[in-house]
Structure 1
Amino acid sequence: MVYGLVGPCFTMAEVVVDHLLNGDSSAAFEGADLSTKLKLMGVDVASFGDPFADGADNALGVTYTDPVAGVYKKLVVSDDARTLLGGVLVGDAESYSTLRAYVGGQLPGAPEQMLFGGTEAAGGDLPGATVICSCNNVTAEKIRCDIAEHELRDVPAVKGCTRAGSSCGSCVPLVKKILDAELAAAGIEVSKAICEHFEYSRAELFDIVRVRGITAFSRLIAEHGTGRGCDICKPAVASILASLGNGHVLKGEQAALQDTNDQFLANMQKNGTYSVVPRIPGGEITPDKLIVIGEVARDFGLYTKITGGQRIDLFGARVEQLPQIWKRLVDAGFESGHAYGKSLRTVKSCVGSTWCRYGVQDSVGMAINLELRYRGLRAPHKLKSAVSGCARECAEAQSKDFGIIATEKGWNLYLSGNGGMRPRHADLFATDLTDEQLITYIDRFLMFYIRTADRLQRTSVWMESLEGGLDYLREVIVDDRLGICAELDAAMARHVETYSDEWNDTLKDPELLRRFVSFVNAPETPDPSISFEVEREQIKPVLVAGSSLEVISK
C-alpha cells in the first residue's frame, strides 16, 4: 500500500533501522495512522481515525452539511456516542487537531458540540497516551515530559526537542495548548507571540506598525522579528497594513503577503474556479443592475446564487476571466463586495418604514449608509451586519457582529454576535440612539476590535475574551476610559476618506492585471486540451408524469 503520507514513511524507516542494527529484531510495520490535514485547490480537508466506521453495527455517524458555504463535517462515534472513532472535515478543518486527539478515547462533550467547536480540548486534559503528532508518533506525555525536563518555553523549542509539529504542522495548535497548560500549571507566564518569528501578539504588532509608521513587512520583521516570516504572520501583517490604509493589497511587497483569495481578489471554490461577488449595499438594487448581473452570468456561463446576505454570487469564473467580468460590472456601477477578504461583507436589511406597515425607521437607508461607510474595512476576521426596521427583526440583526434594530425613538445597537461555527447571540449595547450616536459607537467598536483582537478572532470570541466584557467596552467607547476615542474616530475618518474600490483600481493598472492568468505560457486562451467542468449547474423544475412537481439537476 502506498500511503502518500510522511508519518507511515517514518514508521517504516524506524522498522528498517531496527532490523539493520539488530538482525534478530522482531520489529514489524503494522500500519499507521492515516489522519491528515491538507489544502486541496484552496479548500481545507482533513480526516482522522476511521471515517468510514459508521457502516458497522456498533457505530453511528453525525454529519453537518452546508452546500452554500462549502462545508461538510462528519464524526463517527460508538453506539453510545461516547467514543470518537473517526471523522472527515471539508471546507472548515479548524477543529482537526482537537478532534484527532480524542480518536479512540472518550469525548469531553456531545458529538454535536465537538462538531461545531463548542467543546475544545485543553492541553492539560488530554490523556498522556494520546498521539498528538501522528507524523512523528509523539504523545501528549512525551511533550509534557520534555517541556518540564528541558525547560521548553515556546513552540519552536518544543518542535525542535520532540519533533511534534515539524512535519505537516497540523498538530501545532494542539501542541501550543499543551505548552500553555504546562506553563500555566508551573506558574510561568504564557507567551502570546503570534508565531515563532515575532514575540508579540497581533494587537502588539498592530500598535508597533501604527506608532512607528511601518508600511512594509520586511522592515517590521527586520526591526522587531526574526527570520523570514511564515504563513501565519504574513497574512496577519498584511491585514494590519490594510487596516491602517497602506494602499492596494496587491501593490509592491504587500502582494506576497496575501492568502489564496486575496491573491486574485476573489474566493477560490473547490473546483479551482473563483466566485465574483459585487457589492449590493443594503440589498437594494436597480432593475438595470439586475439585468447586467444576469447578462454577465449568461455570457460567461456562471452559476448564480442569491445569498443570505442579500447579494448575488456568480460562481465558476476562471482566473483570466475575472478582469473581463469585473470590467463589465464596474462599468455598470458595481464595486467589489470583498467576499474574499477579512473585511466587511454585508449589511443586510428589511424593507423598513418605506414599505412595511410595521416599520418605524428607514432600515434600508441606514443599511446602505453603514455598508458604504465600512466597505473595504480590513479586520482580523470577516464582519457582518444587519438593520431591522422594527422589533419583528426580519433582518436577523442579533446574530451579526454589529446589528441594529429600530425603535420609535431611534436605534438599539447589538454587538458581537455571529452565526458561524460557534453561534452567539449579540449583546444589547445601547438603546434609542440617534443616527449620529449609532454611527459613532459602531466606528469606535470596529476600530477598537481591529486594534486589540487576536489573529483570525471573530468579534464574538473577542468579546468573550475581553476582560470586563460588555461593561468594559462601554467604558472604552462611550466614556472614553482609555482616552483613545479621538484616535478611533480619526482612524475611521481616514478609512472613509481614503476608500478606493480594489477591482476598479486593478482594472486601471496594467501591472496588476498581469497576474490574472490561469497558465503563464498561455495567458490569453487556455490550452484546448484542458477541460473545465462545472460542479453544479442551475436546477430547474421538471414536471414528472403522474407525480407532483420535483426539482432535479439539469
Structure 2
Amino acid sequence: MNMIPRQRQRLLVVGNGMAGMRTVENLLRLAPHRYDITVFGAEPHPNYDRIALSSVLAGEKSLEEIVINSRDWYAENGIRLIAGDPVVALDRAARTVTSASGLTLPYDRLLIATGSKPLAPPIPGLGLPGTCAFRDIADVETMIAAARSGRRAVVIGGGLLGLEAAWGLKRQGMSVALVHLMPTLLERQLDATAGTLLQRDLDGRGIAFFTNGQTEQILGSERAEGVRLADGREIPAELVVVAIGIRPNIDLARAAGLDVNRGIVVDDGLRTEDPDIFAVGECVEHRGQVFGLVAPLWEQAKVCAAQLAGDAAATYATPPLSTRLKITGVDVFSAGALAAADPADEEITFQDIARGIYRKLVLRGGKVAGVVMYGEVADAAWYFQLLREGTDIAAMRDTLILGRAVATAASGAAAPDPSAALAALPETAEICGCNGVCKGAITGAIADLRLTTLEAVRAHTKASASCGSCTGQVEGLLALALGGDYAKPAGEKPMCKCTPHGHDHVRREILARALRSIPAVMQELGWTRPEGCASCRPALNYYLLCAWPGEYEDDARSRFVNERMHANIQKDGTYSVIPRMWGGVTNAKELRAIAEVVERYGIPSVKVTGGQRIDLLGVRREQLPDVWRDLNAAGMVSGHGYGKALRTVKTCVGSEWCRFGTQDSTAMGVALERMTWGSWHPHKVKLAVSGCPRNCAEATIKDFGVVAVESGWELHVGGNAGIHLRGTDLLCKVSTPEEVLEYCGAFLQLYREEARYLERTAPWVERLGLEHVKARVVEDAESRRALHARFLHAQRFAQKDPWAERAAGADAGAFSTLVPAE
C-alpha cells in the first residue's frame, strides 16, 4: 500500500527582522519539516543585527559584518526570501497576503513581525532633504554620506538611539549637537545622577547638549540647515537626525481587522484573535505592554516557535529587562526600578565622582528591585541575577553596594574570583543580552560542537556578536570548558566572519603556498563562505596584487565601486573626476582641456582640491568613459582620488620662486609623483614636499613628507591629518634627490608589504614601531635597495591609466631620469 506523504503547511512570515527570524530559527530546530516557509522583508537585505547599526555608523563594523542570516542560509534551509517587497494587504477570509509588487500568496499559518516605526513628531521642516531617522541600514547610509559632505549634525532625542546616533556621527568626523526635551539623558533608563555623569563624559568627548530643549522647527527651504528651539536658540546643521523613539507598526494588522491597541494584541501564546495568525516583536502588545528592547523579543520568539511546532503549553511572560549603552568606553547598566516607589523601599548609593563611578540599588522587601550603574559595571550580571531570581539579600545587605566580592565575603562566603563566579552561575543565567543567549547554550555548544575559539562560539550561538560587552564572559566560559587547552588569542583579529585567520597570517600564507588567486586562497585556507564578503575580497585582491605584480590579474569584482568606476561616487549618484596634476603643476593645455570637458559634458561644479588639483563634480556615470577619453587625449591621467593608492604629492614653489626656498621642491614633488603614481596601497597615501623648514606644503602631516634644508632633505613618515591628527616621525636626512626617491620607494614598499588592508601608515608605524622602519629602510642599505627595486618592479605594471592604453609622457621635470619607464 503506497503512503501519500503529508503535505507541509504553508507558513508566511511578514517581516525579515530580528524577532521574526529568531522565531524561524527556533522553529527549524524544533520542527524542521513541519512548514514550507516564505519570508517577506520590506528592506532589500537579508536579516541583519539592528542592534549593531550604531557600530556601523561609528565605523567599528561593516554592513557585511552585521548580517545574521545570509541569503545562502535561507536557501540552505529551504526558505523563500522575498526581500524589498513589503506586504501591504492581508485577506483573512481568503488566507492570503499581497505584497507591494502585487504578489499574492496563500498561507496556513501567518506570523506578523512588522517591527516598529520611528516616532515622527509634527515638526515643521521634518521632510526636508538632510533629515532622517536612525532605524535601518538606509538611515545609516544616509548619515555616513552626510558626514562625508557636511560638517555639522543635530540629533533630536537623548535616549539610547539618539545617543548612539550622536556618537556615531562624532566618530564620522562631524560636529554634533544633541537636543533633548528632558533635563537629563536616558531618563527612562538612568536616574538623574547617572544621567548627569553620562552627559559630562559625552560633553568631554565633544558632543554639545541642549537639554530642556524643545525643537520648534527644522530650518531651511530646499534642505535642512539647522533647528530652532522653542526658546529661540538656533543650531546650524547640514544633517538633522530624529531619534525620539519608536511606535509599533500595526498598519497591516489594523487594516485586516485584527485587535490592535498600541500594538497588535496577542495572548500568552503570541496568538492574535485569529487562531492562525501569530505576532512577535516590537509590533505586539502583550498584557498592555509594548516592547522596545531585545530581551523580551527573544523570549517571544522562543514561545512562538514552540506554539508553531505544536506545543500548546508554551506561554510567554515578560522577563526582567536591562539596558546597556553601545558607546565605546562608556559603561552604563540599569535594570528594574530606578527609584523607590513607596516609603517601604530602600535606596542605597555609592558615588565616586572623581573616578566617574556611580552605583545605586533599590531594595524592596529584602530583595533587589532595581540597579543603576555608571562607570564600573563588572558586577552588573550578578546584580541582575539577584533581581531576576528574587534572591533574599538580608545577609549581605550592608555591603551589597560594594560589589560581589565584598558582599559575599561579608556574608560568610569566600569571595569568588572571576572564573569561580562564572562557574557558579546557573545554566539559565543570561550571558548575552543582545541575542538572548544563556550560559547553558554556550557551554552546550562548546561541548557538542567542540568549539575552541571566540569566533566559533559567536558563529554558532551569536553570543557577544552584537555590542560585544559580554565578550569577557564568553571567553571565560571557553576557558572553563577547555581548561589548559584554551589559549586566548593574543594576536590579530580575524579578517572577517569568513575566516578565523588574521591579515598577517593570510599574507604569509599567500607567499608561503604561492597562492595566486582569490579562490585559491579561500580554498587553501578554509574560507567558510565560498565567495567571501565585502571585507575580505578587497583585502585579498590587494594582497595578491602586492605579492605577484605582473602575474596576478586585478579582480574588478573585488574592488569598491569608486575603484571600479575610477571616480568618487557622490551622494546624488553622480561622480567626481580628478585628473592628476604632477606635483600640483599644470599648464595652459591641461587647463584648456579641463574647461572644454566641463563645457562639453555640462559638468555642474569645478573645485580646487586641498591636494592642488581640480575636481570635476557632478559627472554622470554614463559620461565617465567619454570624459576620461578627452582628458587622456590632453595627456592627463587619473588622480586616483578614489583609491587605496597614491592620492597626491603636494608641493610649494620652493627655490625656483620663493625667496626662502632652499631646494627645488616643485621638481622633487613632480619626480616623486611620476615615480609613485598608480601604486596601490593598503590605504590612501599622500606625499608632500616643502622647499624650506617653513613647511608650506604641510609635509609633516603626510604619509611621506619631504622638507628641504640647506644640506639636503629631511624625510618624515607616518603623518595623518584626518579625524585623528598625527604628526610625522623623522625618518632620516639625506643629501641628494636620488636618495629621496630611493628612500621613498623603499618606505612605501615596506608599508605595502607589511601593513594590513585599510591600515594607514600612521597606525602601521605605531604598531610596528619607528625603529622597525628605520632598521629596514635607513640602517640596512641592502634591504632598502631591495625594497626600492621591488617597488619599481611593481610600478612597471601599476602605471597604466584605467581609461587609456598608456599615459601620455609629459615632461617629468628635473629628475625625470630617475623615474622608471613604463
Whether these two folds match at TM > 0.5 is: yes
> Residue in 1 aligned with 2:794?
495
> Residue in 1 aligned with 2:327?
99
Q: Distance in 1 between matches of 2:473 and 2:623?
A: 46
- Of 399, 407, 415, 2:709 maps to 407
Q: Distance in 2 between matches of 1:11 and 1:267?
A: 39
Instruction: Verify the 8 A CA contact 2:549 2:794 in the aligned structure 1.
Output: no
Rg larger for: 2
Q: Alpha carbons of 1:460 and 1:385: their partners in 2 closer, same or farther (altered >3 Å)?
A: same
**1:266 Cα deviation (Å)?**
1.6
> Residue in 2 aligned with 1:271?
572
> Residue in 2 aligned with 1:243?
546
Q: Distance in 2 between matches of 1:137 and 1:108?
A: 35
Q: Secondary structure at the match of 2:200?
A: coil
- Per-residue CA deviation, residues 32-75 of structure 1 (Å, 9 max, x unaligned), is 996655564895689xxx941269xx999979999xxx964636
Instruction: Verify the 8 A CA contact 1:42 1:269 in the aligned structure 2.
Output: no
> Residue in 2 aligned with 1:221?
522
Paired AA for residue 596 in structure 2? E
Q: Alpha carbons of 1:259 and 1:156: their partners in 2 closer, same or farther (altered >3 Å)?
A: farther
Q: Distance in 1 between matches of 2:599 and 2:431?
A: 50
- Per-residue CA deviation, residues 96-141 of structure 1 (Å, 9 max, x unaligned), is x96378486699999xxxxxxxxxxxxx9888679999974679x9
Q: Distance in 2 between matches of 1:102 and 1:146?
A: 32
**1:472 Cα deviation (Å)?**
2.4
- Per-residue CA deviation, residues 388-444 of structure 1 (Å, 9 max, x unaligned), is 000111000111111110000110011101011221111111124422222222222
How many residues align? The count is 460
Instruction: Verify the 8 A CA contact 1:453 1:462 in the aligned structure 2.
Output: yes
> Residue in 2 aligned with 1:476?
776
More relative contact order in 1 or in 2 (CA 8 Å, sep 6+)?
1
Instruction: Verify the 8 A CA contact 1:152 1:158 in the aligned structure 2.
Output: no
**1:387 Cα deviation (Å)?**
0.5
Unpaired runs of 5+ in structure 1?
Answer: 17-27, 91-96, 111-123, 509-554
**1:201 Cα deviation (Å)?**
2.9
- Of 82, 93, 112, 2:200 maps to 82
- RMSD, matched Cα: 5.0
**1:473 Cα deviation (Å)?**
1.7
**1:376 Cα deviation (Å)?**
1.3
Q: TM-score, normalised by structure 1?
A: 0.68
Alignment of 1:54-453 (within 5 A): 72=174, 74=176, 76=178, 81-82=199-200, 99=327, 102=330, 136=435, 152-162=452-462, 165=465, 188-190=488-490, 192=492, 193-210=494-511, 212-227=513-528, 228=530, 229-244=532-547, 246=549, 254-300=555-601, 301-453=603-755
Q: Distance in 1 between matches of 2:614 and 2:432?
A: 42
Q: Distance in 1 between matches of 2:696 and 2:355?
A: 34
Instruction: Verify the 8 A CA contact 1:147 1:179 in the aligned structure 2.
Output: no
Q: Distance in 2 between matches of 1:327 and 1:273?
A: 18
Q: Distance in 1 between matches of 2:689 and 2:433?
A: 47
Q: Alpha carbons of 1:220 and 1:356: their partners in 2 closer, same or farther (altered >3 Å)?
A: same
Q: Secondary structure at the match of 2:461?
A: helix
**1:367 Cα deviation (Å)?**
0.7
Q: Distance in 1 between matches of 2:653 and 2:609?
A: 17
Q: Alpha carbons of 1:218 and 1:65: their partners in 2 closer, same or farther (altered >3 Å)?
A: closer
Q: Secondary structure at the match of 1:99?
A: coil
**1:464 Cα deviation (Å)?**
1.2
Paired AA for residue 259 in structure 1? F
Q: Alpha carbons of 1:370 and 1:5: their partners in 2 closer, same or farther (altered >3 Å)?
A: farther
- Per-residue CA deviation, residues 205-245 of structure 1 (Å, 9 max, x unaligned), is 33433455433211222223324122211000111233346
Q: Distance in 2 between matches of 1:178 and 1:271?
A: 45
Q: Secondary structure at the match of 1:502?
A: coil
Instruction: Verify the 8 A CA contact 1:101 1:132 in the aligned structure 2.
Output: no
**1:184 Cα deviation (Å)?**
11
Instruction: Verify the 8 A CA contact 2:434 2:467 in the aligned structure 1.
Output: no
**1:6 Cα deviation (Å)?**
2.2
Q: Distance in 1 between matches of 2:696 and 2:516?
A: 43
Q: Alpha carbons of 1:100 and 1:472: their partners in 2 closer, same or farther (altered >3 Å)?
A: closer
Q: Distance in 2 between matches of 1:406 and 1:218?
A: 47
Q: Distance in 2 between matches of 1:35 and 1:146?
A: 34
Q: TM-score, normalised by structure 2?
A: 0.48
Q: Alpha carbons of 1:349 and 1:180: their partners in 2 closer, same or farther (altered >3 Å)?
A: farther
Q: Distance in 2 between matches of 1:343 and 1:109?
A: 44
Instruction: Verify the 8 A CA contact 1:277 1:336 in the aligned structure 2.
Output: yes
Q: Alpha carbons of 1:201 and 1:283: their partners in 2 closer, same or farther (altered >3 Å)?
A: same
**1:198 Cα deviation (Å)?**
4.0
> Residue in 1 aligned with 2:303?
none
**1:162 Cα deviation (Å)?**
2.5
- Do structure 1's residue 6 and structure 2's residue 17 form an aligned pair? yes
**1:178 Cα deviation (Å)?**
8.6
Q: Distance in 2 between matches of 1:506 and 1:100?
A: 48
> Residue in 1 aligned with 2:397?
none
Q: Alpha carbons of 1:506 and 1:143: their partners in 2 closer, same or farther (altered >3 Å)?
A: farther
**1:339 Cα deviation (Å)?**
1.4
- Per-residue CA deviation, residues 487-508 of structure 1 (Å, 9 max, x unaligned), is 4222112023333323234799
Q: Alpha carbons of 1:387 and 1:102: their partners in 2 closer, same or farther (altered >3 Å)?
A: same
Q: Alpha carbons of 1:163 and 1:204: their partners in 2 closer, same or farther (altered >3 Å)?
A: closer
> Residue in 1 aligned with 2:406?
none
Unpaired runs of 5+ in structure 2?
Answer: 1-13, 28-112, 119-133, 148-153, 179-184, 186-194, 208-236, 240-324, 335-352, 357-375, 385-429, 481-485, 808-822
- Of 151, 157, 160, 1:53 maps to 157
Alignment of 1:465-544 (within 5 A): 465-466=767-768, 469-480=769-780, 484-505=783-804
Instruction: Verify the 8 A CA contact 2:583 2:666 in the aligned structure 1.
Output: yes
Q: Distance in 2 between matches of 1:89 and 1:197?
A: 37
Q: Alpha carbons of 1:160 and 1:497: their partners in 2 closer, same or farther (altered >3 Å)?
A: same
Q: Secondary structure at the match of 1:504?
A: coil
